[in-house]
């Protein structure tokens, strides 16, 4: 009798572990799909699409530690996209993903290259390479990014490094 109970408990534990692993794989696929949408929305300069991927209380933390709320990020995107002539490159490479229940932390390397008008209206080639840590939460509407932290960033304008 004791061996049978032990066997049943073992089967139940394995089923639980496999269920969690399956849920994590499903979450990983869904989050990867959200990053693919981010690339698409950026190339389209689709601010509304990008905003839909964020929670209402989304925060963006710059490399220098400055924190922007969702409204500040929206204003910056609209200003930047108004001056952007073309999005020449946009990639995201997921380096690490850790999922715990309804929260995921994802470390990425991102590259964005655009042709943007400077203050004098002259087209310039801007490129940013950044390492970010994103915190995603599962909502009734799907996975949404709650926090983006820039861990490292290098920007060039016409190939010249920027401070």
Share of residues in the chain with pLDDT > 70 (%): 87
Q: H-helix or E-strand containing 115?
A: strand 103-117
Number of domains making up the chain: 1
- CA 78 – CA 111 distance, rounded (Å): 19
The predicted pLDDT at position 17 comes to 46
- CA 151 – CA 161 distance, rounded (Å): 18
Cβ–Cβ under 8 Å, residues 117 and 123: yes
Phi, psi dihedral angles at 154 (to 5 degrees): -125, 130
Quickly state the pLDDT bin for 6 (edges 50, 70, 90): low
> Which tokens hold the place of 116?
């943007």
The predicted pLDDT at position 1 comes to 52
DSSP string, 35-83: HHHHHHHHHHT-HHHHHHTEEEEEEEE-TTS-EEEHHHHHHHHHHHHHH
Which residues are paired to 59 by β-bridges? Answer: 69, 147
Tell me which residue range forms the domain holding 123.
2-161
Whether pLDDT at 14 is above 70: no
The predicted pLDDT at position 163 comes to 85
The predicted pLDDT at position 86 comes to 97
Quickly state the pLDDT bin for 90 (edges 50, 70, 90): very high
Question: What is the residue-averaged pLDDT of the chain?
Answer: 91
pLDDT in tens, 50-78: 999 999 999 999 999 999 999 999 999 99
Whether pLDDT at 147 is above 50: yes
pLDDT in tens, 116-137: 999 999 999 999 999 999 999 9
Whether pLDDT at 7 is above 60: no
CATH of the domain at 23: 3.10.450.50
Whether pLDDT at 9 is above 90: no
> Which tokens hold the place of 152?
């490292």
Cβ–Cβ under 8 Å, residues 148 and 138: no
């Amino acid at each position: 009798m004791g061996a049978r109970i032990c066997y049943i408990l073992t089967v139940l534990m394995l089923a639980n572990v496999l269920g969690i692993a399956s849920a994590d794989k499903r979450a990983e696929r869904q989050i990867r799909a959200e990053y693919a949408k981010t690339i698409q929305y950026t190339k389209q300069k689709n601010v509304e699409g990008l905003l839909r991927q964020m929670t209402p209380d989304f925060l963006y933390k710059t490399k220098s530690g400055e924190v922007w709320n969702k409204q500040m990020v929206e204003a910056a995107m609209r200003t930047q996209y108004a001056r952007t002539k073309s999005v020449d490159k946009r990639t995201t490479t997921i380096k690490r993903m850790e999922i715990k229940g309804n929260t995921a932390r994802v470390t990425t390397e991102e590259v964005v290259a655009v042709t943007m008008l400077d203050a004098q209206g002259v087209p310039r080639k801007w490129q940013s390479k950044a390492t970010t840590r994103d915190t995603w939460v599962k909502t009734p509407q799907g996975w949404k990014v709650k926090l983006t932290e820039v861990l490292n960033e290098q920007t060039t304008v016409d190939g010249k490094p920027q401070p």
